[in-house]
A and B are shown apart, each in its own frame.
Chain A
Amino acid sequence: MRLRDLRTGEEREAAGTDVAPGTTAIRAGEIAWVSHRGETYRLSAVPRFSSRTAHRPEDTPSLEAPMPGRILGVRTAVGATVRKGDTLVLVEAMKMEHAVRAPKDGTVTRILVTEGQMVGLGDVLVEMG
């Protein structure tokens, strides 16, 4: 099967026959977690026949929650013109606050969350055009 290392993006073919000494692996959903010689890796299988589109943050039309947490505030509005780096949404988790910022100049086309709402990792918060 074809596998991708989630940190480096490196892809390689491998057969699932053997786990080498000094290696521990576990599957969680679609992710394989591997500990090998003191380092931890996360990998996923690359679908065989799908056209893989590279994830390019500057082209992402939606902004996702960077972690599970609570929406502290929405700092923009639908139709607002925003500059790259503007704070759009504040998320609180584990007693820390994180600002979700505009990845580019553009217009806010949709807001999917409200203050006080709990969100999961990767939930879409805002869409930009």
Chain B
Amino acid sequence: MTGVGRFGRVLVANRGEIAVRVIRACRTAGLESVAVYSDADREARHVALADAAVRLGPAPARESYLSIPLLLAAAKETRCDAVHPGYGFLSESGDFARAVTDAGLVWIGPPAEAMEAMGSKISARERMRAAGVPVVPGALIGASEEHEKISLNGTFKEILSLGFPVLVKASAGGGGKGMRIVTSPSDLSEAIASCRREALAAFGNSTVYVEKYLDSPRHIEVQILGDAHGTVVALGERECSLQRRHQKVVEECPSPAVTPELRARLCKAAVEAARAVGYVSAGTVEFLLEPSGAFWFLEMNTRLQVEHPVTEEAFSVDLVALQLRIAAGERLPELPAAPAFHAIEARVYAEDPDAGFLPQAGRLLVWVEPSGPGVRVDSGVISGQAVDVHYDPMLAKIVAKGRTREEARRRLVAALRETVALGVATNLSWLGRLLESDPVVRGETYTGLLETLLLPAPPPPPHEVFAAAASVLSGPASAAPGSTKSSWPGPFDTRFRMGGGA
């Protein structure tokens, strides 16, 4: 075991594609990795890939991936000496970071104090305002102690004085979970109550806050990296304006809206934000960019982002490898000053665009990933794997890079069409049509675009599709040439046929 100095075996305290991503980075760095899993994930890809795996508990996240005692016990049992939290779950929990450090393990992430300073969006904005970073206008409702009092019986007057619409958000965590736009005062109490429940279910923290809603801004975020020796650098921006219900679906690096001059100003503000809280490791400072070029601090995500691959592809860096080196106490190496490529990512979700994008669960019977020049797939699934209702419905991220934005976009469209997902409805076709739509082709996006954008309908099934369906729905599977009876377990009667002599 060579390792990276201070540790040699890493507990990967997550699941899905990000657990796979971290396990790969560990292996590349010469580190061993230990996966954890709930009962719903026994057959999951990350479990098979790691050097060892430990069962945590039943499927609900609170009894498995969100349990600090279970995670620490798993680390102890497998003699891990470091923990990588991934994103989501406990990745932004100061309590978890502190418990890991107190147990004598290396925490591969920012200091607990920096996470806590940024973890409450209220206190984060106060810190940013004090550090001279522009903050969303009218966002604060009273001081951080007072906002706890804004309850169903609380100080609506303060909220109403912001004017409508307003945004109601979970104070802990990001990802748009629990977020709601409220357009009239009569909807406010229901929105707050609903947001509290979602925040509690997703993050174990029911604190919410309300802010002024900006019209037609872009969501631009800056990747930063800090080492334990006081160096903080920015690695350009990501454009994440394509969001559905405040959940990002397509991200790119660089942003078509950011000039070198604006990039320099954004990066400077992001570095100041990170320095203000003594930030170490990888993090992201999110801004809203108005059409005028004015930008406002939104929040800081004190972890690796879902969309980190577009920065990696555009800058030719490995952010997880850098997190490992930073955690081992190394100094940041020389990093590229500007992106050499353009990269775009599409998030493949188990959701049905024809049924209001409702999350889907079931068994992913066939999963074929794309490949080719400039194509990267970060996926957490394999054919035959169950997609469980307990977790986030994201299956994979498909990323394409090119010398130009248009080359990256065309590669991504081709890669999406090459991807096959059967057994669970996904947004694959919708993503392809989105990437071919005029505003996306031109790079003219803003955070509200997907609420109004009309995409063409998918084509109706041609004759071959009816014939193929008849083939698998009629007769015994073994009777026809070219058919295979699947060996996947579960309640499904599965018969699998491929055309073209497969």
Interface centre among A16, A30, A45, A68 (most CB of B within 10 A): A16
A54 contacts partner chain B, Cβ-Cβ < 8 Å: no
A27 contacts partner chain B, Cβ-Cβ < 8 Å: yes
Which segment, of B212-220, B374-382, B467-475, faces chain A? Answer: B467-475
- Bound Cα distance A3, B358 (Å): 25
With A22-B500, A68-B361 in contact, do A40 and B471 touch (Cβ < 8 Å)? no
Kindly identify which residue among B197, B417, B463, B482 contacts A97, using a CB–CB cutoff of 8 Å.
B197
Interface readout for A51-90 with B: 1 if CB under 8 Å, 0 if not? 0000000000000001111001000000000000000001
Smallest Cβ distance from B294 to chain A, in angstroms?
Answer: 32
Residue contact A27 to B472, C-beta cutoff 8 Å: yes
Residues on A with C-beta less than 8 A from B472 are 16, 25-27, 32
Residue contact A8 to B461, C-beta cutoff 8 Å: yes
Residue contact B470 to A27, C-beta cutoff 8 Å: no
Which segment, of B12-20, B24-32, B387-395, faces chain A? Answer: B387-395
Interface centre among B420, B473, B486 (most CB of A within 10 A): B473
- Bound Cα distance A95, B416 (Å): 26
Residues on A with C-beta less than 8 A from B368 are 24
Smallest Cβ distance from A46 to chain B, in angstroms?
Answer: 11
A47 contacts partner chain B, Cβ-Cβ < 8 Å: no
Residues on A with C-beta less than 8 A from B201 are 92, 95
Residue contact B197 to A72, C-beta cutoff 8 Å: yes
| Nearest-CB residue, chain A, relative to B60 | A70
| Nearest-CB residue, chain B, relative to A65 | B358
Residues on A with C-beta less than 8 A from B461 are 5, 8, 10, 34, 36, 41, 43
| Nearest-CB residue, chain B, relative to A21 | B500
- Bound Cα distance A33, B365 (Å): 9
Residue contact A36 to B464, C-beta cutoff 8 Å: yes
Residues on A with C-beta less than 8 A from B494 are 26-28
With A24-B499, A26-B496 in contact, do A36 and B465 touch (Cβ < 8 Å)? yes
Residues on B with C-beta less than 8 A from A48 are none
- Bound Cα distance A73, B501 (Å): 52
Smallest Cβ distance from A76 to chain B, in angstroms?
Answer: 15
Residue contact B198 to A35, C-beta cutoff 8 Å: no
With A8-B460, A25-B468, A93-B389 in contact, do A40 and B421 touch (Cβ < 8 Å)? yes
B372 contacts partner chain A, Cβ-Cβ < 8 Å: no
Residue contact A1 to B356, C-beta cutoff 8 Å: no
Contact residues of A: prevailing secondary structure: strand
B489 contacts partner chain A, Cβ-Cβ < 8 Å: no
| Nearest-CB residue, chain B, relative to A6 | B354
In the complex, chain B residues 472-502 whose Cβ is within 8 Å of any chain A Cβ: 472-475, 480, 482, 486, 491-502
B262 contacts partner chain A, Cβ-Cβ < 8 Å: no
Smallest Cβ distance from A51 to chain B, in angstroms?
Answer: 21
Residue contact B499 to A21, C-beta cutoff 8 Å: yes
Residue contact A7 to B458, C-beta cutoff 8 Å: yes
Kindly identify which residue among A7, A17, A27, A69 contacts B473, using a CB–CB cutoff of 8 Å.
A27
Residues on A with C-beta less than 8 A from B38 are none
In the complex, chain B residues 244-262 whose Cβ is within 8 Å of any chain A Cβ: none
Kindly identify which residue among A26, A43, A94, A98 contacts B365, using a CB–CB cutoff of 8 Å.
A26
B94 contacts partner chain A, Cβ-Cβ < 8 Å: no
Residue contact A28 to B423, C-beta cutoff 8 Å: yes
Smallest Cβ distance from B192 to chain A, in angstroms?
Answer: 13
Residue contact B389 to A40, C-beta cutoff 8 Å: no
Residue contact B359 to A94, C-beta cutoff 8 Å: yes
- Bound Cα distance A29, B201 (Å): 33
Residues on A with C-beta less than 8 A from B466 are 3, 5, 12-14, 43
| Nearest-CB residue, chain A, relative to B356 | A66
Residues on A with C-beta less than 8 A from B392 are 94-95
Residues on A with C-beta less than 8 A from B391 are 94-95
Known: A16-B467, A121-B361. 7 other contacts (CB 8 A): A20-B499, A22-B500, A25-B497, A26-B497, A33-B423, A34-B422, A66-B358
Q: What residues make up the interface of B, taking CB atoms closer than 8 Å to A? A: 177, 194, 197-198, 201-202, 354-356, 358-363, 365-366, 368, 389-393, 416-418, 420-423, 425-426, 428-429, 432, 458-475, 480, 482, 486, 491-502
Q: Which 9 A-B pairs have the closest CB atoms?
A: A38-B417, A16-B470, A21-B500, A32-B469, A33-B422, A14-B466, A43-B469, A16-B471, A25-B468
- Cβ contacts A to B, 19 pairs, < 8 Å: A13-B466, A16-B471, A17-B471, A20-B467, A23-B499, A23-B500, A24-B368, A24-B468, A25-B496, A28-B363, A36-B465, A38-B417, A40-B426, A67-B359, A69-B389, A93-B359, A95-B392, A96-B198, A97-B198
